[in-house]
Structure 1
Amino acid sequence: MSGLKKLHAPLAWVDGRWQRDVLLSVDASGHWSEITINLPAPADAERLNGPVIPSLVNAHSHAFQRAFVGLAERREAGQDDFWGWRDRMYALALRISPQQLHAVASQLYTEMLRGGYTQVCEFHYLHHPAQGQEFDDELDMAWALATAAEDVGIGLTLLPVVYTRSGFGADSLRADQHRFAADADWAWRAHQRVMAAGLPRVNAGVALHSLRGAAPQDITRLQSLVGAADLPIHIHVAEQTLEVADCLKATGMRPLQWLAEAGHLDPRWQLVHATHADPADIEAVARSGAGIVICPGTEANLGDGLCDLPGWLQAGVPLTVGSDSQVTRGWVEELRWLEYGQRLALRQRNVAAAPGSQPSSAARLFDAAVAGGARAAGFSAWGLTPGARADALVLNRDADALRGLPDEALLDAVVFGSNGSPWQSVWVAGRARPWRAPQRVGDAFEAAMRELWSPDSTPGS
C-alpha cells in the first residue's frame, strides 16, 4: 500500500543494518505505511539528501530541571552528593509556575529535537501550586508541558507520578515536598484526562516516584486501577546506595528484589536508573519482562554510580536512555557515556559489543534504545518500520565526524566521533521540524530564568 507521502533515502538504518535505496511511505496519520529497500527513487518521492536513521525516545525527563542546569556545580565546603543536590533542586521545584514551566519546557523540547529525540517521557510530579492553594485546573502544570510539546512539535508521553511519603517508614511528605503530593487515584485520574484530551502526539502512562516515595499500598492501588491496560508504568529504583540500604533495613530486601518478589513487575514496567543491581536482581527483572531506563549523563553528574551494563545486556533486559535532570539533552552523549563509563570501570573497549552477532557497540546500544524507547513510551513500534510514527533523522555526510567515512562506520562515528547532532533534518510524523529554538522561545526562557533566579523573585503560583 502506498502512503500519501513518499520519502526516498540513499541509505537507511532498517532492521539493525544499513540498507540502500530505501522508500519510506507515510500514511495520512503520519505513520510509516511501508518501508521498501533496494528500490530506486520513484518520480513522486521526495529525495532525502543523506542517510536516514531512527530518532530516539527520551525515556526519562524532568522538564523543570532544565532551569537548574549549571546551578549546582560548586562545593563550598564538606562533601557533595545526590542528597545535597536534591535539597538545592527543591528551591526550583517550590517556585516554578505553569507559565514558567511552559517557557522552560519549550526551550528544552527544542533542544531535545536538536539532540535527536522526537518523543519524551515526562516523569511529572510538580502537581500543585507553590503556595499550597489550588489551581483552577489541577492539571495546570501538566497542560503546560503538553502545550510546550505541541508548540515545539515533539511527541510527549506524560507520566503523572504517585508521591505520598518522604522515605521508608514515613507516613507523609516533607514540608518542602508539598507540590508533589499525589495518590494513586489522583495519578490515574490525570492519566485518564490526558488521554481523553486527544492531543496530537500526546499520550500518557503512570509512574511511582520510588519505593521510598510510594508505600506498598500505593503500588497495589495503582495496579488495581491500571488493571490489564497496556500502558507504561515507570518508577525510580536503586539509583542510590543509601536507597538500597534503607530498603534493606525497612523490608529485608533490595529495591528490585522487593518489586519482583511482590509480583509487581511485568513488561509494562520501566525501571529508571536500576544502577545498583546485583546478579539476582538482574535475573529477576529479566524473568519479569520489565525494562530499564539508564540516564548516564545525570547519573554521572549526581555521582550515582555505574550500572552493570554487561549484566543487563547478557540477560536480554530491554533498555533505553533518558535525559533526566537535563545536564545532557541529546542521545549521542547518553549512548557514548553509557559505553565509556564501562570502559573506564573495566579498563576494556567495546564493552557493549556482541562478537558474532553485533560487533558494533554503537549499533547494539542504538538498536536497544530504539526498541526500549518504544516500550517506555507505550508504543507497539518505533523506528523505520511499518506502523511506527514517521520519525527520523537525516544524517549530514558533510559533518566533520562523518566526512569521508565508509557507510558501515557511520553509526559508530555518530556515537563515538561526533560533537552531538550530525544531522541535517529531524522528522516527526512525516514532517521536517525546526530544531533551533525560535527567538520567542529563547526570549521566554531567558525571562523565566530571570524570574526564577533573581534575588527578589517570589515563588510561582
Structure 2
Amino acid sequence: MRIHAAAALLPAGWVEDVRVELSESRIAGISVGVPAQADDTRVEALIPGMPNLHSHTFQRGFSGLTELRGPGKDSFWTWREVMYRFALQLNPEGVQAIAALACVEMLEAGYTRLGEFHYLHHAPDGRPYDDPAELSLRIFAAAEETGIALTHLPVFYAHGGFGGAAPNEGQRRFLHSLDAFDRLMERCEARMTRPQDRLGLAPHSLRGATPEEIRYLAAQWPDRPFHIHIAEQVKEVEDSLAHSGARPVEALLAETPVGPNWCLIHATHLTEAEITGIAQSGAVAGLCPVTEANLGDGIFPAPGFLAQGGRFGVGTDSNVAISVAQELQMLEYSQRLSLRGRNICTEAGSTGTALFNAALQGGAQALAAPQQELATGAPADLVALRDPMALSNPASLLDRWIFGSGVAVDQVWASGRHVVQDGRHPERDRIRRAASEVMRKLL
C-alpha cells in the first residue's frame, strides 16, 4: 500500500509531496518531492501516531457522570468512591465492551498505541477468576478487535495506604500477593500473540505498594515498562510526610531503582529537588492534563522539568475525554494560567510541534515502543489530518490542530492496518452499541 501526503512530518520537519510505502506493519520506504500516482491513497497531512501512555479503559463507562456536587466538598477522594462502585459492578463482557469503545475513540483521536494501567483483576466479590488473567485477556481482545497496539500494564495493588495499611472493601477487585501477581504476569506473557504488543507492570502507588514490594517487582520483572502513580494529590503528599517524613517522589527516588524504563504518572506536586531527580533519572513523566484538571489535581511544573531535559508523554487516564489535541492543549494552557504567559512549553518556534514531538518520544519510551516517526523501518502508525481551511503552510498545522479549530483526524493506520477512514473506525457503530447496552444496565 502507498500513501501520498501533500505534506508529512518527517524527523527533520515538514516536507511536501511525500509518498510512504507500507509493507505489513512497517514503513517500507519514503519518497520525497514526488507526485501522487493513480493508485495512491491521498491525504493532506501525515504525522506519526501518538502513544497513549496512561489509561484505565473501564472508566470510560462513567465519563461525564460524576459532575454532580453532593453535600460537602467534592474532590478526587469523593470521585474515587464513585469509581469503586462502578468497578464493582462490571463483568468480563462489560470490561471488554467498554475497553473496545475506548480503543475506537483513541484511534479516531490519533492514538495508535494504548498503555493500559490495568488494576481491575478479580470477580466482584474479590475472588480470582479461574483464569487469573481473565480481565487482562479482555483488554487484549479489545485491542486486537479494534487494531490499536497495546502495552499492557497489570497493576500490583496490595494495600489501602502508606505503610502497608489494610485495603478497603472498594478495592477488593484489585488486590494481589506478590506470588499471585507473578502468576498473573506469567499468564499474560503466555497469552500475548501480536508482535506489536508489549507487557510491562505497574505497582499502583506508594499507597498501594510498599517500597520493599516495588523493589521486588523491579528485580523480578526487569527491563520492562514500569509505571506508578505518584504525587497526584496534595493529600497524598501530606500522608506520605506523616508516614515517613518524606514526600512521595522524594521517597520513591531514595528507596527504589527509578530509571529510564519507569514512568511516573502525574508527578504533579514536586519540589525543585524532585524535579531534578526525575529528570536526571531518565524516567518519563506521564501527564494526563485533562483528567488532572477534571479531578482538580493541580498543575505539573513543566518549565523547570523541560529546562533540565525531562521527558514526558500524555495519557487519557479516566477517559473523560479522548483527544490528543486536548491533552496537549490543556498541558500548555495550564502553564499559561499558572504563570500568566504564553507559549511556555517551547524555547522557540511552534509550541504545537514542540509539544507533539516531545509527547511522541516520551510516550514511545514509556511504553517500550519503537520510536514513532515517519521513517523507513518504523512502525506503520500513521495519522492523516484534514484541514478544511486548506492553508498552504504545513508548519502551522499542529498549532491549528491543538489550539485552533477545524483541523481533524481523517485517517489512521495502526501497525499497517487501516483502522480509521473519513474520521470513523469501521466498527464504531457496532462497538458503541455493545458498550451502550452495558452502560445502560449498570447506570
| Corresponding position of 2:346 | 353
- In 2, distance between residues paired with 1:82 and 1:74? 13
User: Which residue identity lines up with residue 110 of structure 2 in the other structure?
Assistant: G
Residue 397 of structure 2: SS of its match in structure 1? Answer: helix
Question: Pick from 266, 270, 280: which aligns with 1:277?
Answer: 270
**1:214 and 2:205 matched:** no
| Corresponding position of 2:72 | 78
| Corresponding position of 2:8 | 12
Report which stretch shifted further, 438-447 or 180-189: 180-189
Residue 3 of structure 2: SS of its match in structure 1? Answer: strand
Question: Pick from 261, 265, 283: which aligns with 1:268?
Answer: 261
How far apart are 1:390 and its partner, in Å?
Answer: 0.3
**Structure 2 CA distance for partners of 1:387 and 1:211, relative to 1, 3 Å:** farther
| Corresponding position of 2:394 | 407
How far apart are 1:44 and its partner, in Å?
Answer: 8.4
Report Cα offsets for 1:3-40 as digits up to 9, x if no partner: xx433322100115201232323234x11233343344
How far apart are 1:176 and its partner, in Å?
Answer: 1.6
**Structure 2 CA distance for partners of 1:21 and 1:185, relative to 1, 3 Å:** farther
How far apart are 1:408 and its partner, in Å?
Answer: 1.7
TM-score between both structures, scaled by the size of structure 2: 0.94
User: Which residue identity lines up with residue 423 of structure 1 in the other structure?
Assistant: V
1:10-409 maps to which residues of 2 (within 5 A)? 10-15=6-11, 17-28=13-24, 30-41=25-36, 46-200=40-194, 201-227=196-222, 230-355=223-348, 359-398=349-388, 402-404=389-391, 406-409=393-396
| Corresponding position of 1:458 | none
**Any conservation in 2 of the 1:354–1:360 contact (CA below 8 Å)?**
no
- In 1, distance between residues paired with 2:156 and 2:354? 34
User: Which residue identity lines up with residue 301 of structure 1 in the other structure?
Assistant: N
How far apart are 1:368 and its partner, in Å?
Answer: 0.5
% identical aligned pairs: 40
Report Cα offsets for 1:415-444 as digits up to 9, x if no partner: 11126x612211112232133453321221
- In 2, distance between residues paired with 1:107 and 1:149? 10
**Any conservation in 2 of the 1:188–1:206 contact (CA below 8 Å)?**
no
For structure 1, the 5+ residue unaligned runs are 454-461
- In 2, distance between residues paired with 1:337 and 1:85? 21
User: Which residue identity lines up with residue 363 of structure 2 in the other structure?
Assistant: G
Report Cα offsets for 1:201-243 as digits up to 9, x if no partner: 432111010011101221111012013xx32100000100111
For structure 2, the 5+ residue unaligned runs are none
- In 1, distance between residues paired with 2:114 and 2:283? 19
- In 1, distance between residues paired with 2:355 and 2:155? 28
- In 2, distance between residues paired with 1:393 and 1:446? 27
**Structure 2 CA distance for partners of 1:249 and 1:413, relative to 1, 3 Å:** same
Report Cα offsets for 1:354-402 as digits up to 9, x if no partner: 12xxx1111111000110111121113212133331011111132xxx4
RMSD: 1.8
Report Cα offsets for 1:35-94 as digits up to 9, x if no partner: 3433445x5862422110111011100011011112210112211010011011110111
Residue 333 of structure 1: SS of its match in structure 2? Answer: helix
- In 2, distance between residues paired with 1:26 and 1:193? 33
- In 1, distance between residues paired with 2:3 and 2:104? 24
Report Cα offsets for 1:131-169 as digits up to 9, x if no partner: 233312111111111111111111111100010100013
**Any conservation in 2 of the 1:57–1:370 contact (CA below 8 Å)?**
yes
User: Which residue identity lines up with residue 164 of structure 1 in the other structure?
Assistant: A
Report which stretch shifted further, 30-39 or 425-434: 30-39
Report Cα offsets for 1:238-262 as digits up to 9, x if no partner: 1001111111222222111112122
- In 2, distance between residues paired with 1:187 and 1:27? 38
- In 2, distance between residues paired with 1:187 and 1:77? 39
How many aligned positions are there? 438
**1:425 and 2:411 matched:** yes
- In 2, distance between residues paired with 1:161 and 1:443? 29
